[in-house]
C-alpha cells in the first residue's frame, strides 16, 4: 500500500483497499472484474487525469483488501464495499462510476440501495444474467479453472511474461498488464510472487454470480451505458437485455474488443468513458 492508498471499513469486518489514482475534476470510481483489482485501471486513469479525479477499489477477496477467513464472496458484499468506498471519498456528492464484469454488477447493486450515489455509470459487460439465460455450467467452468490457476511464479517479470504469452491476457495492452501483475501479486519469503486473489477465492466469486440483479434493473434509475464487445461470448450476448431493462440504459457496441476490453486499448477506453460522461 502506498501513501495514496488507504483502508475503508465495510460490512462483515472487511477493510476495502481504496487507491487514489490521481487526476483533477469530478470523482470517478473504477469497480473491477472478478480476479482483478483497482489499480488495473492506472493507464485509463492516467489518460483521464485532466478530466476526472479517479479512484480504484479492491473489493473483498481481491488486491489488498482485508477480510476474515471463511467470508462469503456474495456480490451483495461487493456492492457494500463499493458503497463504503464512495461514501468515504464523496460523502453525499454523486460520483461517476466505471465497472467491468462483476464490477459493473456491483455498481448497479449499490445504486439500488443508494439511488443518489452515482451521477452515471459506464459498465463493460456487467454480469447481470436474465433468469431464463443464466449459464450455470459456464460459471462452474470458470470456477473450476480458477481453482486450477497457477498462483506462484519465480518473479513479477516471470508472471508478466507468462500472462503476455497466452490469451486472453496476450491481447491486453502491455502497460495495463504490467499494472495487473505488479499490484495483483505479492512477494513471498522465498523470493517468489503469488497472486493476491487466490484461486479458491476467485472460484467462489464466480459461484456467487447469480446475484439477482437482473430482476431489479427496472428499479435502477442510474443513467447507464452498457458496453458490449464483439466476442460473442456470454456477457456480450445478454448485454442488450440489460440495457433494455434499465430505465435510463443505453447500449454501446465495440466489435473490435473482447471481454477484457477495458485493458486492450486504455487510451481508446478513456476517450469512450469521457465522451459518455460528458453528455
Yes or no: say if 159 and 249 are a contact pair by the CB < 8 Å rule.
no
Sheet holding 185-187, edge to edge: 152-153, 193-195, 185-187
Mean per-residue pLDDT, 237-259: 97
- Residue-level pLDDT at 140: 72
- Residue-level pLDDT at 133: 56
- Residue-level pLDDT at 130: 77
- Residue-level pLDDT at 212: 86
Q: Is the pLDDT of residue 136 over 60?
A: no
* 19-23, 120-124, 168-172, 207-211, range with the lowest pLDDT: 207-211
- Residue-level pLDDT at 134: 52
Mean per-residue pLDDT, 253-263: 97
- Give 279's contacts (C-beta < 8 A, 6+ positions apart): none
User: Assign residue 38 a region: left if phi > 0, alpha if psi is -120 to 50, beta otherwise?
Assistant: alpha
Domain ranges of the chain: 5-134+210-277
Percentage of residues in the chain with pLDDT exceeding 90?
A: 91
Q: How far, in Å, CA of 260 to CA of 63, rounded? A: 18
- Residue-level pLDDT at 12: 97
CA distances from 279 to 86, 87, 120, 224, 261 (A): 22, 25, 10, 12, 22
Yes or no: say if 10 and 82 are a contact pair by the CB < 8 Å rule.
no
Q: Is the pLDDT of residue 47 over 90?
A: yes
- Residue-level pLDDT at 129: 86
- Residue-level pLDDT at 138: 54
Rounded to 10 deg, the angle between the 75-90 and 102-113 helix axes is 70
Calculate the average pLDDT of the chain: 95
- Residue-level pLDDT at 19: 98
For domain 5-134+210-277, is the CATH number 3.40.50.1820?
Answer: yes
Yes or no: say if 211 and 76 are a contact pair by the CB < 8 Å rule.
yes
Q: Is the pLDDT of residue 229 over 90?
A: yes
Q: Where do runs of H (alpha helix) occur along 4-152? A: 42-47, 75-90, 102-113, 136-147
pTM for the full model? 0.95
Mean per-residue pLDDT, 220-247: 96
Mean per-residue pLDDT, 182-196: 98
* 3-12, 46-55, 137-146, range with the lowest pLDDT: 137-146
Amino acid at each position: 500500500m502506498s501513501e495514496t492508498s488507504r483502508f475503508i471499513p465495510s460490512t462483515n469486518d472487511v477493510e476495502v483497499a481504496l487507491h487514489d489514482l490521481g487526476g483533477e475534476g469530478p470523482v470517478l470510481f473504477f469497480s473491477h472484474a472478478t480476479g482483478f483489482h483497482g489499480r488495473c485501471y492506472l493507464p485509463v486513469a492516467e489518460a483521464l487525469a485532466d478530466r476526472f479525479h479517479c479512484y480504484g477499489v479492491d473489493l473483498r477477496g481481491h488486491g489488498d483488501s482485508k477480510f476474515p477467513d471463511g467470508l462469503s464472496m456474495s456480490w451483495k458484499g461487493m456492492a457494500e464495499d463499493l458503497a463504503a468506498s464512495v461514501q468515504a471519498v464523496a460523502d453525499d456528492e454523486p460520483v461517476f462510476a466505471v465497472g467491468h464484469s462483476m464490477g459493473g454488477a456491483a455498481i448497479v447493486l449499490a445504486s439500488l440501495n443508494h439511488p443518489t450515489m452515482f451521477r452515471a455509470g459506464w459498465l463493460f459487460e456487467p454480469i447481470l444474467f436474465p433468469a431464463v439465460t443464466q449459464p450455470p455450467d459456464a460459471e462452474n467452468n470458470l470456477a473450476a479453472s480458477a481453482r486450477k490457476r497457477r498462483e506462484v511464479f519465480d518473479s513479477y517479470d516471470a508472471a508478466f511474461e507468462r500472462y503476455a504469452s497466452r490469451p486472453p491476457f496476450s491481447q491486453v495492452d502491455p502497460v495495463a498488464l504490467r499494472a495487473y501483475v505488479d499490484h495483483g501479486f505479492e512477494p513471498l519469503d522465498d523470493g517468489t510472487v503469488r497472486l493476491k486473489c487466490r484461486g479458491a477465492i476467485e472460484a467462489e466469486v464466480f459461484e456467487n454470480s447469480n446475484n439477482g440483479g437482473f430482476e431489479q434493473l427496472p428499479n435502477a434509475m442510474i443513467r447507464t451505458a452498457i458496453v458490449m464487445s464483439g466476442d460473442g461470448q456470454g456477457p456480450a450476448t445478454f448485454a442488450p437485455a440489460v440495457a433494455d431493462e434499465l430505465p435510463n440504459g443505453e447500449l454501446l457496441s465495440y466489435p473490435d474488443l473482447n471481454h477484457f476490453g477495458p485493458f486492450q486499448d486504455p487510451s481508446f477506453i478513456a476517450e469512450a468513458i469521457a465522451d459518455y460522461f460528458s453528455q
